């Protein structure tokens, strides 16, 4: 890797005599420690710099830069792009929704996305040690670790359900397409005949061969809903009735966790290869499904519902809030995983260009997926003779109810069902194992090289997967869906991510210094990014984050399931504990460090906001760093050079 030298004028050299001492332990920027002679100094803004002698070990890097791009695509492009964005677009005025969406992409999404990747690349550390840039705010790292741990825990349940549906798709007749199964109730009806009821003059006229009247249709249930609730979930009446475990789901969950473990256990060298398949194949399936979707009757009407602009929606605050929340969800901001991925980049990688490429891929995928989803939903609405608003859903409702219902109406239904759920599995799988990678990277960075163990990484990944699996067992019970919704609604919600993003901007822009960090980025990529980034970090993005955060807080509504079941008070308390467990990490850690420090408040602040540099900073920035490697401890006339850098 190319090493950049500072001009002679940018450093002041101080020569100190070094007495005979034993080698000292140093930080290598990634949490690992090495033994050798040290070069310790302070930058002009007070940063403590740790360098290394001949024992310095470089952090693992991507085999090629495309590995990083693919990993970011795999992580950030996930289920939310397919099952949440299209619905929000339809609900919030069709094509008009793109105006607030794109606006917030440029004032919130890209600036923070770039901030997290560049920060990881600059500090060469995971989500905790990366905040050595301002050690007082290391609570940001702990908060992101808590969020990504919760996310890893509940997100994999979607993969377990998808895997279950995938297995059930390999049958001649899809099990959710008929009412002739053991889990079906007398209320089950395959075709609703809404049009017949509209034309009928009496409400008690018998419809079809089901011996149901039009009046009974209000209570009728489709076979796909009964398959989902009675067979897959076997759902109980509430959170206070966990019921028994579903052994089929336990096996699916175990299989997915084993798959994730073997994708992650060897680090970025293996993960970077796997994502080539898991990140690209969903696009192949999306294209196949789009070609099939647009050829179906009713597809044109569905797509028109999706993109038809409704300009009056721009006046509603909720539209702008939905756009902002979706950006933070789909860009995977605040989870610390992007920081971990960036930390494996070469120091001189052009992460500024990467941020724009990844943002384009992410948002482009969301928009493209809308055409796939709504062409199918348009067909489904036409087949059932209902308005598309009655079949348009988001989240698990789209993945496990609306879409399976649509494919059951197609010729060769098992093929299309298998394709869709295979795509769903891959979309979630790469997001999952990159999330686990980010969590494990943060944990391993806390244990320096002196704690070296040959299988340290494999053991850490195994413990992480096992712990998450044990918690997941609460979600494969009859009351598991209620637990899943608690995690989804509170632990990695819009509020926790917005809180995290707000503090990231404040710390980098106002504590460390926006201009200072822009200089650091210029040092890495060879040119200074457009000042827009600095303005966003300093003013615009924090205002957007705190604005949406307060809106969520003011308009908070208690959690419900299917708009019918209201969670008990103690369920909400558990939910708020999940949310606050990450949000309180920042203020609690800050206050703890301030109280433990000595001196006046000004002295404590100055000491605790002094960056702690890693050895790699000197390696890339010192003009004569190579001369240090010729020194060896124990020789009287050795000199140690201390640099005051202008990073």
Strand partners, 35: 25
Instruction: Look at residue 185 and tell me whether its pLDDT is greater than 60.
Output: yes
Spatial contact of 486 and 274, defined as CB atoms under 8 Å apart: no
Instruction: Look at residue 29 and tell me whether its pLDDT is greater than 80.
Output: no
Tell me: the pLDDT tens digits for 49-82? 554 444 445 677 888 888 889 888 888 888 888 8
* Annotated binding-site residue? 362: yes
Residue 391 vs residues 81, 228, 305, 401, 480: alpha-carbon distances, Å: 19, 16, 12, 9, 25
Give the mean pLDDT of 578-585.
Answer: 93
| Alpha-helical segments (H) within 563-642 | 569-583, 585-596, 601-608, 615-621, 625-628
* Annotated binding-site residue? 43: no
**Most confident among 209-218, 271-280, 385-394, 510-519 (mean pLDDT):** 510-519
Supply the pLDDT for residue 197: 62
Instruction: Look at residue 628 and tell me whether its pLDDT is greater than 70.
Output: no
Give the three-state DSSP class for 24.
Answer: strand
Please, what sign has the CA dihedral across residues 27, 28, 31, 36?
negative
Tell me: the pLDDT tens digits for 4-26? 333 333 332 222 223 333 333 33
Supply the pLDDT for residue 390: 77
C-alpha–C-alpha distance, residues 265 and 437, integer Å: 9
C-alpha Rg value of the chain to the nearest Å: 27
C-alpha–C-alpha distance, residues 364 and 358, integer Å: 10
* Annotated binding-site residue? 74: yes
Task: Give the model's confidence band at 251: pLDDT under 50 very low, under 70 low, under 90 confident, else very high.
Answer: very high
First to last CA, the chain: 20
* Annotated binding-site residue? 582: no
Please give the residue that has the higher pLDDT: either 550 or 76: 550
Give the three-state DSSP class for 114.
Answer: helix
* Annotated binding-site residue? 76: yes
* Annotated binding-site residue? 340: no
Give the mean pLDDT of 193-198.
Answer: 58
Enter the tokens of residue 527: 């040119």
* Annotated binding-site residue? 152: no
Spatial contact of 253 and 156, defined as CB atoms under 8 Å apart: yes
Task: Give the model's confidence band at 579: pLDDT under 50 very low, under 70 low, under 90 confident, else very high.
Answer: very high
Supply the pLDDT for residue 450: 55
Question: Which residue has tokens 């030298």?
Answer: 5
Tell me: the pLDDT tens digits for 326-371? 898 888 888 888 998 899 898 889 999 999 999 999 999 999 988 9
* Annotated binding-site residue? 132: no
Full 3-state SS string of 529-579? CCCHHHHHHHHHHHHHHHHHHHHHHHCCCCCEECCCEECCHHHHHHHHHHH
| Alpha-helical segments (H) within 297-412 | 299-307, 317-330, 337-343, 351-384, 396-397, 403-408
* Cα 61–Cα 63–Cα 64 angle in degrees, nearest 5: 110
Residue 494 vs residues 87, 174, 239, 398, 490: alpha-carbon distances, Å: 17, 36, 23, 20, 8
Instruction: Look at residue 526 and tell me whether its pLDDT is greater than 70.
Output: yes
Give the mean pLDDT of 207-213.
Answer: 54
Task: Give the model's confidence band at 40: pLDDT under 50 very low, under 70 low, under 90 confident, else very high.
Answer: very low
Q: Considering the chain, what is the average pLDDT of its residues?
A: 80
Spatial contact of 398 and 87, defined as CB atoms under 8 Å apart: yes
Instruction: Look at residue 640 and tell me whether its pLDDT is greater than 50.
Output: no
Enter the tokens of residue 183: 């889990």
Task: Give the model's confidence band at 476: pLDDT under 50 very low, under 70 low, under 90 confident, else very high.
Answer: very high
Tell me: the pLDDT tens digits for 92-108? 888 888 899 999 999 99
């Amino acid at each position: 890797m190319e090493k950049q030298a500072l001009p002679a004028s940018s450093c002041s050299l101080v020569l100190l005599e070094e007495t005979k001492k034993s080698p000292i332990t140093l930080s290598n920027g990634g949490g690992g420690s090495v033994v050798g002679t040290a070069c310790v100094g302070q930058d002009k803004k007070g940063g403590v710099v740790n360098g290394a002698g001949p024992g310095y070990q470089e952090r693992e890097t991507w085999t090629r830069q495309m590995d990083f791009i693919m990993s970011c695509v795999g992580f950030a492009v996930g289920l939310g792009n397919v099952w949440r964005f299209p619905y929000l677009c339809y609900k919030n005025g069709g094509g008009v929704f793109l105006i607030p969406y794109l606006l917030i992409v440029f004032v919130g999404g890209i600036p923070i996305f770039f901030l997290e990747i560049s920060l990881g690349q600059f500090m060469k550390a995971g989500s905790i040690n990366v905040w050595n840039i301002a050690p007082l705010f290391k609570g940001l790292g702990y908060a992101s670790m808590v969020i990504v741990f919760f996310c890893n825990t509940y997100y994999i349940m979607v993969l377990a359900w998808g895997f279950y549906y995938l297995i059930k798709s390999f049958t001649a007749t899809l099990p959710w397409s008929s009412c002739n199964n053991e889990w079906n109730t007398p209320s089950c009806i395959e075709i609703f005949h809404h049009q017949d009821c509209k034309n009928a003059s009496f409400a008690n006229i018998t419809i079809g061969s089901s011996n149901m009247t039009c009046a009974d249709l209000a209570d009728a249930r489709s076979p796909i809903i009964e398959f989902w609730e009675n067979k897959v979930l076997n759902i109980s009446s509430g959170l206070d009735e966990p019921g028994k475990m579903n052994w089929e789901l336990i096996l699916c969950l175990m299989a997915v966790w084993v798959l994730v473990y073997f994708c992650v256990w060897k680090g970025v060298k293996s993960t970077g290869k796997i994502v080539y398949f898991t990140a690209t194949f969903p696009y192949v399936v999306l294209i196949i499904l789009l070609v099939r979707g647009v050829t179906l009757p009713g597809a044109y009407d569905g797509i028109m519902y999706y993109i038809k602009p409704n300009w009056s929606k721009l006046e509603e605050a909720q539209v702008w809030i939905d756009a902002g929340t979706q950006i933070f969800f789909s860009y995977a901001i605040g989870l610390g995983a992007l920081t971990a991925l960036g930390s494996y980049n070469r120091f001189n990688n052009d992460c500024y260009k990467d941020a724009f490429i990844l943002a384009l891929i992410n948002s482009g995928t969301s928009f493209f997926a809308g055409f796939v989803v709504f062409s199918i939903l348009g067909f489904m609405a036409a087949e059932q003779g209902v308005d598309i608003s009655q079949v348009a859903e988001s989240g698990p409702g789209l993945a496990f109810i609306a879409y399976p219902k649509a494919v059951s109406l197609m010729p060769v239904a098992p093929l299309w069902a298998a394709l869709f759920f295979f795509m769903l599995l891959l979309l979630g799988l790469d997001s999952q194992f990159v999330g686990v990678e980010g969590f494990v990277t943060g944990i391993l960075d806390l244990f320096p090289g002196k704690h070296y163990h040959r299988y340290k990484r494999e053991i850490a990944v195994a413990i992480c997967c096992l712990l998450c699996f044990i918690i997941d067992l609460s979600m494969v019970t009859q009351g598991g869906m209620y637990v899943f919704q608690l995690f989804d609604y509170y632990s990695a919600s819009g509020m926790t991510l917005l809180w995290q993003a707000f503090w990231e901007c404040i710390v980098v822009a106002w504590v460390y210094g926006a201009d200072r960090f822009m200089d650091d980025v210029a040092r890495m990529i060879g040119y200074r990014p457009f000042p827009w980034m600095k303005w966003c970090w300093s003013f615009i993005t924090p205002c957007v984050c705190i604005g949406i955060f307060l809106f969520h807080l003011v308009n908070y509504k208690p959690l419900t399931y299917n708009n019918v079941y209201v969670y008990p008070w103690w369920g909400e308390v558990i939910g708020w504990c999940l949310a606050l467990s990450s949000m309180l990490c920042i203020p609690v850690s800050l206050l703890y460090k301030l109280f433990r420090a000595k001196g006046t408040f000004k002295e404590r602040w100055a000491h605790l906001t002094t960056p702690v540099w890693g050895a790699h900073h000197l390696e890339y920035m010192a003009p004569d760093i190579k001369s240090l490697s010729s020194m060896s401890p124990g020789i009287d006339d050795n000199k140690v050079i201390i640099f005051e850098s202008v990073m």
